[in-house]
Structure 1
Amino acid sequence: TAMIKNNITRKVLDALKKMKTDRPEEFKKFWQMFGMVLKEGIISDTKNREQIMKLCLLDSSGGEKTTLEEYVSRMSDGQKNIYYITGGPVKNLEISPKFEGFKKKNIEVLLLGDAVDEIWVNHARKFGDYEFVSVSQEDIALPEGSGFDSTEGREELEKTGFVSKLKESLADMVEDVKISTRLVDSPACFVQKGEPISPQMRNFFRSMGQEVPEEKKVLEVNPAHPLIKKIAAETEKGNADVAEWANVLMGLASICEGEPVEDGRKFTRILTKLLEK
């Protein structure tokens, strides 16, 4: 019966909680083998969702696996969300340009590399009083604090009209082109409009024969990056081919995403041509 099932579930979760507290090394081994099953429980068992989430050991930009309670305890003053990134192996996620600004401000980001992570985090929506927020989403606001000036170069780039020209050139390829407030070292990256669904998750849904909503990519450019400054200045003078540079920036953003360039030959040809100038 449902009552027996609930009692068994509660006893198992209590035993796991005790193991995690009293025998952490043993729990880590358990998590390696059965962590995926527990994550699936977050999706299917809404009654025990919070308790299951407290058991999760998640990869983090901090370098060590962490629980959600530990993450919350380390949150900086003024931080109101739990930040995460999904969409590939952890080794790719930890070098993603999408959270360069978070790194610079010493804001921890969860690296959710398993396919099920993208599903449970969207089902759960929050942990305690804190909402889960993907660093891949458009118009994300970095918490205030030291680290870097996210407005550096913005005003100068706006004056050149470069972003409008890029937007016009890429009208058939992206939803929008915007000046980034999250990039530090990279010239450009893709972010997602609306509900973030990673390229890997899209491929998974397609392999299951499911329809996937049309992707609405937004290209963000880093106003403080030397390459963007140079292209914008040359474009303003009429010395640069916006369409060619737009193609290069799209290619660079794809590579940073861990995705293949749409037309590798064209990308290589244009990049070689521009470098020879």
Structure 2
Amino acid sequence: MTARVLNGLTIAKAIRQEVGTRVQQIAEQYDVRPGLTVILVGSDPASELYVRLKKRDCEAAGISCEIKNFSADISEQQLTDTIDSLNADTNVHGILLQLPLPEQFYTPRVVDRIDPTKDVDGITPLNMGKLALREPAHRCCTPKGVMTLLDHTEIDLLGLDAVVVGASNHVGRPMCLELLLRGCTVTCTHKYSKDTSFHTRQADILVTATGIGGLIRKDWVKPGAIVIDVGIETQPDGRLKGDVAYEEVKEVASWITPVPGGVGPMTRVSILQNLLATVEQTLH
């Protein structure tokens, strides 16, 4: 068996074109251009790259994207004042805070300052809570993107055993909730789990998000499983490596995502979908 590849680049491109068509319709009908503001604090190379990619995606869909780049020594008060100003700006439909923030910031407090209706990343406490209560508004972008990938397999997820490796606030935990909402039986493993491989071998759906390159080996995977690799580890030569040992795992999985080109593009296009939803709400 050789796994079929879930190509996030191709799927995201099609969705981005759909978003772009609707953005053009809104511009013609309402004279409104959706606007996203991205806040970048510091000069982390990976964060700078992600922000450039997000801006490129916005421009491809006809969305206005402004990047506010602050030095790492900005105060938390200055940062939250900026967010308050963007919350009040009717021309700004979405606010995206590029994470991680420098260590001197208390990230939950800064994130909580974002107006939940403009939280296109889906990471504010209100939006996370609505997901837990089965009333999602803006869904957290990476798990949302993963669910879109799973939909493209056309496999009924109801009743399947799903294992999420990693319990981060913005991927692992909301990923578990998304799978629960689709009727999966969900197990979440984390750094205190005694035997992660025992759990992964039971998974019909395996989503891994640890950032430990090559963690998931062939003998950790149930034959025929759907394997979604969210993890990214930058190698010394600059190449990106996922959690999954791709070449060997693709021989046992039924579907698999590559790194890069799998989940990343889906995360970014989910931002555009959330932004478009915000704009639609303001028009009605």
Structures share fold, TM-score greater than 0.5: no
Q: TM-score scaled by structure 2? A: 0.29
Asked which structure has the greater CA Rg, the reply is 1
Question: Could you say which structure has the greater relative contact order, defined with CA pairs below 8 angstroms and 6 or more residues apart?
Answer: 2
The structure whose residues are more often strand, as a share, is 2
